[in-house]
A and B are shown apart, each in its own frame.
Chain A
C-alpha cells in the first residue's frame, strides 16, 4: 500500500501535464472533446489528491511515516530532487484541484470559447501548482513556479482586448522581476548552505558559520520578497487588483489559489528553516512578515471600501486574506497557524465562488453581455458553436436572482468571517489560539501582539462586511428594472458546489480543525520532515529490497567554499 501511495505522489503532476500536451495536439476545433477530457483529468487529479489527503491524515502527526517521500529517478535525498507528500501539501493539492475544477466547469458554459488553448493552459497551470506544492527542492520549486506562471500569463490574456493585454503586460513584467529575485535568493542559499534540498537546508542552518549565515539570511530575505510578490504583500501587491479584475471570471477564480502559493511556500520554509532550532537565525524576518501582513490587511480594507466595481472588490478581498494569513503565520504558534490554515481554505473557496458569481451578477447589469458576444465574433469560430446550438450546455435555471442573492450573501458571510460558515470558524480558531484559556493565570500575560491581531481580524471583517453589504444593496435592491440574467445550470453548479463545500467544512469543523492543527504541529516541529526526507532509502531496481541510504555527505557536498580553498 505504501509503495502505491509513493508512486501516487507524482501522479498529480504527470496527469495534467500529459492531458495538456494531448490537448495541444488535438487542435482548436475539437473544443467539446477537450472540455470532456479536461473535466475527467481534473476529476481524477482531485481523486489522487484526496487519496493522498486521506493517507496523510491516517498517519500519526510528527512520525516519520506522516510524510511520504518520492525520490525522482531514484537518486538519494540531498542529491536528487524529491517530491514530498505531507498534510500541508496534500491539503493544498486538494484545494488546487477543487478550485481549478470549479473554474473549468464554469468556463465550459461560454468563456472557454473566447480564446485559444484555454483547457491546455488550465491543465498546465494545475500541473505547475501541484508540482510547486509537492516538490522538496528549492530550484525545482522555481521550475514549477515558472510552469504555473507561464500558464497564468496565457490565461490572463485569455479573451484578449486592450485592458487584458495591458494588465497582462504589467503582470508578466512584475512576475519576471520576481522570478529573477527568486533565482538570486535560491543561488545565495546554495552558496551559503551548499544544498538546494529544503530539508537539507533546514538541517544545515544551525551549524553555519557567521559569514555563511549572513549570506543565507540575505538569500532567504530576497527569496521571501519573491514569494511575497506572489502572495500580494503590501507594497508588492499593486499589480494584483488590476490583473485579477481584467482576467476573465473563471481565470480570476482559479487565480484565487495563486496568491496562496506564495503563502504556502512561506508556510513551508519559514518555520522549517528559521524555526527554534536555527540558533541565531531563529524567527529571522518574523517581524517583517507580521508588519507586512498587518499593512496588507489595512491596504486591502481601504481598497475594499473604495472599490467601485465587483471584480476589484473580490481582488481586494484576496489581499485582505493574504495579509491575514501572513500576519497569522508570523505569530509562529501552532494554534494560530492551525486557524490560519483553516482560514486559507475557507477564503480561497469563498473568493473563487465570488469571482464566478460576479460574472453572473454583472451579466444582468451590463445590457446583454454584448462585449463577450463581440469578442466571440471577432475570433471568428462562432459558426461551429452555432451548429451545436448557440447555448450548447444546460438549461436556464429558474429563480435566478434568488439563487444569486443567496450565493452573494454566503460569500459575504464567508469573507467577513460571520457565523455560521467557515470564515467564522477559522477566525474564531485564530482568536482562540491568540488568547489561551490559561492566560492570566500563573504569570502569563496577553501581549500587545495578540490584541493587535485581534483588532486586525475584527476590523478587516468589519470592512469586508460594509463593502459587501454596500455592493449587495447596489446590485440586488437598488435597480428597479434590471434584466434578469440568463444563467445556465452549468454556471451555477460550481458556485453552489464551492459554497456547499464550505458548508460541509462548517459541519465537519471538528475533524477538519484537528487536521489543520496536526498540520500546523508538523510545520512547527520540522524534525520529522527533515529526518524523513534525508533518511529515505533508494528503491532497488529489482524491487525486492531496499538498500541503506548513503551516509550524509561528508564535506564533499558541504558548503563549496570549504573545499574550494586551494
Chain B
C-alpha cells in the first residue's frame, strides 16, 4: 500500500511540475490541479497509513492511536481540497480573461 501511494504521489507530482513548466495557460492549470491532488494524498499519508481503523473514538477501544487512525490529516485534506478547488476556479477565470485579451493562450500573452 505504501509503495502504491508513494508511486501515485510521485507520478502526480512529476506530471504536475512538468505541466506547470509548459507555456500554455491551460497546461499550467492542469498542472496545478495535479499538484494539488498529489499534495492532498501527501497530507493524508502524513497521518500514517492504516486500514480498518476508525478516525473517531469508538466505544470499547482504548483512546490511543494504536486503535484509531489520525483524524487531523483528514480534516486538513478536507480544508485543502476546498481551498485549492476555489483557487483553481479563480485561476481558470483569469486564464479565460487573459486568453480573451491577448488572443492566444501563451502564459506571457505572446508567441515567440
Contacts and interface: CB of A to CB of B under 8 A. Distances in A.
B105 to A, nearest CB: 11
A408 interface: no
Assign chain B's interface to a size class: 35 or more
Nearest to A561: B48
A188 B87 contact: no
Contact of A173 (B32, B47, B83): B32
B94 A176 contact: no
Interface centre among A153, A173, A196, A555, by most chain B C-beta atoms within 10 angstroms, is A173
A566 B73 CA distance: 19
A191 B46 contact: yes
Interface string B58-75: 000001111000101100
Nearest to B106: A166
B102 A143 contact: no
Interface centre among B42, B64, B65, B88, by most chain A C-beta atoms within 10 angstroms, is B65
A145 to B, nearest CB: 10
Given A173-B32, A173-B91, A184-B39, A563 B64 contact: yes
A519 interface: no
Nearest to A166: B109
A183 B32 contact: no
Given A190-B73, A191-B46, A169 B95 contact: yes
B48 A183 contact: no
Contacts of A190: 46, 72-73, 76
Interface of chain A, main secondary structure: helix
Nearest to A175: B87
A176 B89 CA distance: 12
A178 to B, nearest CB: 11
A173 B88 CA distance: 10
A176 B73 contact: no
B98 interface: yes
B90 A169 contact: no
A101 B71 CA distance: 41
Interface in B91-106: 91, 94-95, 97-98, 101-102
A565 B94 contact: no
B87 A150 contact: yes
A169 B94 contact: yes
B65 A180 contact: no
A187 B65 contact: no
A365 interface: no
B30 interface: no
Contacts of A563: 64-66
B70 A177 contact: no
B91 A179 contact: no
A252 B101 CA distance: 22
Contact of B64 (A143, A150, A186, A555): A555
A305 interface: no
Nearest to B36: A180
B79 interface: yes
Contact of B39 (A168, A172, A173, A180): A180
Contact of A560 (B47, B76, B94, B95): B47
Contacts of B65: 556, 560, 562-564
A383 to B, nearest CB: 25
Given A169-B98, A173-B20, A564-B48, A187 B91 contact: no
A161 B90 CA distance: 17
B20 A565 contact: no
Interface in A510-566: 555-556, 560-566
Contacts of B39: 180, 183-184, 187
Nearest to B102: A162
A188 B73 CA distance: 11
B45 to A, nearest CB: 8
B109 A162 contact: yes
Given A146-B87, A161-B101, A176-B84, 12 more contacts: A139-B79, A153-B94, A165-B98, A180-B32, A180-B39, A186-B76, A187-B43, A187-B76, A560-B70, A563-B65, A563-B66, A564-B70
Which A-B residue pairs are the 3 nearest by beta carbons? A563-B65, A191-B46, A187-B43
12 contacts: A153-B94, A157-B94, A172-B94, A177-B20, A180-B32, A184-B42, A187-B39, A187-B46, A191-B47, A560-B48, A560-B70, A564-B48
